[in-house]
């Protein structure tokens, strides 16, 4: 009945852009379930840009991954066997279980999901970390008011696509930035952004953003960094907020590139603030409570890119880090029983 426990481990640290050669597939026996433990099987694995950072041995908000250890990652799993009072076989659980097919654990990292009509994979994207990130970043830092202008980079991505929709709900003029015509169509036509700028197809990004933001920029939800940051930053209005969520364009840089002059922060009273959604665990439950009905009713839109098989997770992460994915990637590891 039980199978092998397959995991994908970090085999070497990348120099710059990671490749699939930095990973290895390792098969081991499925772990024993000790008293007080619960054995769970992975159904879905989330692939997210932050994983790139964990592959380095640099100081970060989370411990880096040791060579030979499984990659970390959020999963939806199912209870297979339980010697823990809080879990029974068949339950669906959410937790950071890593890139492996089975995990036996104390269950402290798991929360049981109730079936409220949303697809299980949604709990890794729109209802999971990316969605909660958009929600918390806007609520705590961005605070777009009706009539204000919000710019979001990587607007078609897992975080950006929720930022666009929440900012529109708040009454803001929303300008997305994305790479490619197809992504921009999605952002404008499906998500409802007022404008979406294809940064791969403009002569001068700064002018394009300036034209789309005739009243300047009040909130810049920053997912990308690099040239996009340098184009948008000078357009911030007095009392503008810069929500520092990600700088995926610079994750592979060996040395940090210079940023914009901070002089403008004084003159314009800017607030530039970074955050990590994990710092406040209640972000997740608050967002799920708010967003699940909107997902079920179709009011909140999202898309996923499905990848089949745990062994294809490394290539998926490389795609995410290099911007080749067209949507939030979830890896289908197994079907529920």
Tokens 């250890």 sit at which residue? Answer: 69
Is 274 a binding residue for a second copy by CB under 8 A? The answer is yes
Which segment (105-113, 178-186, 201-209, 246-254) binds a second copy by CB under 8 A?
Answer: 246-254
- Min dist CB 279 to a second copy, Å, is 7
Out of 260, 294, 305, 334, which residue is the one contacting a second copy (CB under 8 A)?
260
**50 neighbors 320 (Cβ within 8 angstroms):** no
- Tokens, residue 142: 């961005």
Nearer to a second copy, 31 or 274 (CB): 274
Answer yes or no whether residue 256 interacts with a second copy by CB under 8 A: yes
Going from the C-alpha of 199 to that of each of 178, 196, 234, 237, 319, the distances in angstroms are 6, 9, 17, 22, 18
Is there a contact between 85 and 50 (Cβ–Cβ < 8 Å)? no
Work out which of 237, 265, 305, 312 binds a second copy, going by CB under 8 A: 265
Q: Which residues partner with 28 through β-bridges?
A: 5
Residues shown for the chain: 337
Q: Compute the least distance from the CB of residue 235 to a second copy, in Å.
A: 12
Give 238's contacts (C-beta < 8 A, 6+ positions apart): 268, 269
- Least Å distance between CB 231 and a second copy? 14
Verify binding: residue 235, a second copy, rule CB under 8 A.
Answer: no
Q: Whose Cβ is closer to a second copy: residue 58's or residue 337's?
A: 58
Give me the 215-234 binding string for a second copy, x by CB under 8 A, dash otherwise.
-------x--x---x-----
Q: Is the dihedral of CA 179, 181, 187, 190 positive or negative?
A: negative
The yes or no reply on residue 16 touching a second copy (CB under 8 A) is no
CB 59, min distance to a second copy, A: 8
Binding residue (CB under 8 A) for a second copy from 33, 276, 315, 334: 276
Residue closer to a second copy, measured from CB, 83 or 269: 269
Residue 275 binds a second copy, judged by CB under 8 A: yes
Residue 108 makes contact with a second copy by CB under 8 A: no
Mapped onto helix, strand or coil, the DSSP state of residue 242 is: strand
Considering the complex, state which of residue 108 and residue 254 has its C-beta at the smaller distance from a second copy.
254
Please state the φ and ψ torsions of residue 214, each to the nearest 5 degrees: -65, -20
Query: Contact 334/101 with Cβ under 8 angstroms?
Result: yes
Q: Which residue has the tokens 């890794």?
A: 124
Minimum CB distance to a second copy, residue 124 (Å): 21
What residues numbered 37-76 form the site for a second copy, per CB under 8 A?
53, 60-61
b/e map 26-62, b = 16+ CB within 10 Å: eeeebeebeeebbbbbbbbbbbbbbbbebbbeeeeee
CA pair distance 135, 129, nearest whole angstrom: 10
Residues that bind a second copy (CB under 8 A): 53, 60-61, 222, 225, 229, 238, 242, 244-247, 250, 256-276, 279
């Amino acid at each position: 009945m039980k199978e092998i426990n397959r995991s994908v481990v970090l085999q070497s640290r990348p120099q710059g852009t990671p490749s699939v050669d930095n990973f290895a597939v390792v098969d081991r026996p499925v772990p024993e379930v000790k008293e007080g433990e619960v054995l769970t099987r992975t159904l879905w694995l989330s692939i997210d840009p932050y994983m790139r950072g964990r592959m380095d041995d640099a100081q970060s908000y989370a411990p880096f991954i040791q060579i030979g250890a499984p990659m970390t990652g959020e999963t939806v799993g199912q209870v297979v066997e339980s010697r823990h009072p809080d879990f029974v076989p068949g339950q669906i659980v959410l937790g950071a279980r890593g890139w492996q097919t089975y995990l036996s654990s104390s269950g402290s990292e798991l929360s049981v999901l109730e079936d409220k009509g949303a697809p299980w994979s949604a709990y890794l994207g729109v209802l999971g970390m990316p969605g909660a990130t958009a929600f918390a970043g806007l609520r705590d830092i961005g605070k777009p008011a009706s009539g204000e202008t919000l710019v979001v980079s990587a607007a078609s991505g897992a975080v950006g696509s929720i930022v666009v929709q929440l900012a529109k709900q708040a009454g803001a003029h929303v300008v997305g930035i994305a790479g490619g015509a197809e992504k921009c169509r999605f952002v404008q036509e499906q998500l409802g952004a007022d404008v979406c700028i294809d940064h791969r197809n403009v002569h001068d990004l700064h002018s394009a953003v300036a034209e789309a933001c005739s009243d300047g920029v009040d909130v810049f939800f920053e997912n990308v960094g690099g040239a996009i940051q340098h184009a948008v930053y000078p357009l911030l209005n007095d009392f503008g907020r810069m929500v520092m969520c990600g700088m995926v364009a610079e994750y592979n840089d060996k040395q940090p590139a210079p940023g914009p002059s901070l002089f403008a922060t004084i003159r314009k009273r800017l607030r530039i603030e970074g955050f990590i959604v994990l710092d406040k665990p209640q972000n997740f439950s608050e967002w799920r409570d708010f967003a699940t009905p909107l997902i079920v009713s179709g009011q909140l839109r999202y898309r996923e890119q499905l990848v089949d098989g745990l062994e294809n997770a490394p290539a998926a992460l490389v795609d995410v880090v290099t911007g080749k994915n067209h949507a939030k990637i979830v890896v289908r590891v197994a079907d529920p029983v």
